[in-house]
Amino acid sequence: MLLKQFNETLGQEFHANARNTRLKTDSLIKNSAEREVTKQDMELASQYMNELKGNLDKMVLELNNLKLKHPLALDLREDLNEMYHLMYKMLEIVNNALYLKYQGIELSKERKKEMDNEMASIKQQIQNKMSAVKYSAEELAREANTK
């Protein structure tokens, strides 16, 4: 019952926030790659990071309020937390790259490749965490429905 309530109130919101952040970040990267980085780009990156941090804090608080003791619920909370931290790390990389570009500092091809690889790795980790979250939520829902 508690998990169903969580899913209805925050689970859907969580997925929407995660998707929205990824789309906004991808758009910011694409747009700034095609032109000079502006102060507005820097402010947007900072805003996205603050939004993500706020979403993470809200999610963790709500999960803690549920006081779920089931091992799958604990895994779910940990995976959600890790996924948000990975998204925050990805935004930090974007923010740093935008800042350097804004300052007129050109990154070497090697450094760009490192950053691209790091971003790809983080995106894959996020996908893996999303799969783990989905699995844990489905298993918890299945158990809740059998009781």
Within a 10 A sphere around the Cβ of 147, how many other Cβ atoms?
A: 5
Backbone dihedral angles phi then psi of residue 117, each to the nearest 5 degrees: -65, -40
**How many angstroms separate the CA atoms of 140 and 100, rounded?**
45
Residues 6+ apart with CB under 8 A from 31: 41
Assess contact for 17 and 54: CB atoms under 8 A.
Answer: no
Residues 6+ apart with CB under 8 A from 142: none
pLDDT tens digits, 24-80 = 777 777 777 777 777 888 788 788 878 877 877 777 777 677 666 677 777 877 888
Domain span at 121? 2-146
Count of domains forming the chain? 1
Q: What is the pLDDT of residue 10?
A: 63
pTM score of the predicted model: 0.66
